[in-house]
């Protein structure tokens, strides 16, 4: 899974049937594990069934089977929010080799 920050919601009046009625979030993955997290330049459009909102950090899982057992098999998105982060602990130096 990736950890990312919700930077916004996405609405579209014209969208495929497979997305109809689904809440879409723009998630920016966070990078860096040496005690810091910094945003990457990439963005993911993830389906949310947990009620996440802008500014929150979320865990996004990828895959059609994950999608099937969370938001349903009929949804046309393979990135799904599976957890909303309360706190993140990245002790500095933990990745030292």
Q: How far is the CB of 1 from other proteins (least distance, A)?
A: 4
Least distance in angstroms from the C-beta of 80 to other proteins: 7
Extract the tokens encoding 43: 């963005």
Q: By C-alpha distance, which of 49, 51, 52 is closest to 69?
A: 49
Asked if residue 26 binds other proteins (CB under 8 A), the reply is no
CA 3, chain centre distance (Å): 7
Contact flags string 68-97 toward other proteins, x per CB under 8 A: -xx---------x-xxxxxxxxxx--xx-x
Residue 7 interacts with other proteins (CB under 8 A): yes or no: no
DSSP assignment of 15-38: --GGGTT--EEEEEEEE--SS--E
Q: Does position 40 bind other proteins by CB under 8 A? A: yes
């Amino acid at each position: 899974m990736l950890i990312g920050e919700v930077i916004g919601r996405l609405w579209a009046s014209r969208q495929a049937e497979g997305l109809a009625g689904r809440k879409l979030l723009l998630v920016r993955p966070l990078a860096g594990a040496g005690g810091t997290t910094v945003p990457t330049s990439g963005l993911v459009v993830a389906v949310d069934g947990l009620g996440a909102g802008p500014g929150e950090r979320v865990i996004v899982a990828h895959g059609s089977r994950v999608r099937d057992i969370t938001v349903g098999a009929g949804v046309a998105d393979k990135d799904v929010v599976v957890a909303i982060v309360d706190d993140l602990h990245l002790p500095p130096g933990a990745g030292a080799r």
